[in-house]
Amino acid sequence: MLHMVCMPPEAVNFTDTKTIYALVQCTTDLSPDDCNTCLETAIANTSTCCSKSRGARLFSRSCFLRYEFYAFYEDASKSSTENQRIFAKSRRYWMIVGLAIGSAILIVALVGFCVYCLAIRNQTKTKERQVSGQEVQIHEIGDPNKIDVHHQNLQARDNLNSQNFPFIDLVRLSAATDNFSASNKLGQGGFGPVYKGQLLDGREVAVKRLSSCSEQGLDEFTNEVLLILKLQHKNLVRLLGFCIDGEEKLLIYEYMPNGSLDVFLFDPRKRAQMNWSRRLNIINGIARGMLYLHEDSRLRIIHRDLKPSNVLLDSELNPKISDFGMARIFGGTDGATNTSKIVGTYGYMAPEFAMEGLYSIKSDVFSFGVLLIEILTGRRNA
């Protein structure tokens, strides 16, 4: 089999208006001189065989000649340029397709996000309306300037939203307690009397009214409101609302029909109802409430005034800790904190707190220990 050596085709300007396109090839067994001789012979033969033709193809054993007046071959340089043009066009096409698809995905994602945000917003508004519907209507009475100032001070202490801040006006509370009559008085706390009342919706409540000579000032009152609003536990008394009107400061709690623990412990007739299972249940409930205050709540709270009169009993004699006016938010360590103001009840105060003003969660543990002895023995510690 013969192998051909192909020379690149060329275009030669034959005249000013015509171009001849030619291709020559030789077999690989020819030397350059023999190839040249073979091609010269082929060219000479064109004058005899193809003088009147516009093109010719001549074959011999060792060489091949072809010429035409048209481009019978593809220009490699032009082909490369065309391929590059086609590739660039294809790349632009796919780039446009990719951008279109990406834009569509982005638009769908944005629309989905907006729909999600609107759904969350509508759900939040619905919940707020439900909460607002359960709250007592606010009525401005007395000196509205004083009410607004105190209300703003309370909100500023903890960034509270007014919708989550149940304010009950004095007129409603006065009507609920029969103008704070003696027949509705439940007892006398360290900061003032406590009255039983009934709101317009039928709920029974306990209204704690701070007396003008009470040691609990606006700071203690504010502290108790802010603390109890953040605490949610079955062994803590639930705060339902508050009232500030001039010099009047009142707290509204859920009503505990069985009163405070000290009545059952130290009253000869009611003491008989306190069998060992009930005493154990009360001890466990108080312990769970204190554990929540010390460890499980969002804030670490030290009650500082745990005693039988500050433990209330519901209709089933389940205990609930109350009276957080002296409570303090404690840091994250187990160390003690010092105060120059000694508050609480002697007999239930830890020695280091009573003598040096040092208090920690151990102060509540000491008070709980005294309370535990009183529950077990049925006798006052002093």
Closest CA to 38 of 57, 59, 54: 59
> What is the spatial distance between Cα 318 and Cα 22, in angstroms, rounded to a whole number?
113
Q: Please say if 314 is a catalytic residue.
A: no
Q: Which of 169, 245, 305, 364 is catalytic?
A: 305
CA distances 189 to 150, 186, 194, 209, 210, Å, are 23, 10, 7, 9, 9
Distance CA 140, CA 136 (A): 13
CA dist 241 and 249 (Å) reads: 11
Sign of CA dihedral 371, 373, 377, 379: negative
Which residues, listed in sequence order, are joined to residue 358 by a DSSP beta bridge?
338
Q: Where are the alpha helices (DSSP H) in 7-143?
A: 32-49, 76-134
What helix, strand, coil percent values describe the chain, rounded to 5? Answer: 45, 20, 35
Q: How far apart are CA 232 and CA 155, in angstroms?
A: 19
Tally the residues of the chain. Answer: 382
> From residue 328, how far is each of 46, 159, 222, 240 by CA, in Å?
118, 18, 12, 21
The backbone torsions φ and ψ at residue 192, rounded to the nearest 5 degrees and listed phi first, read 145, 175
Distance from C-alpha of 159 to C-alpha of 156, rounded to nearest angstrom = 5
Catalytic site positions: 305
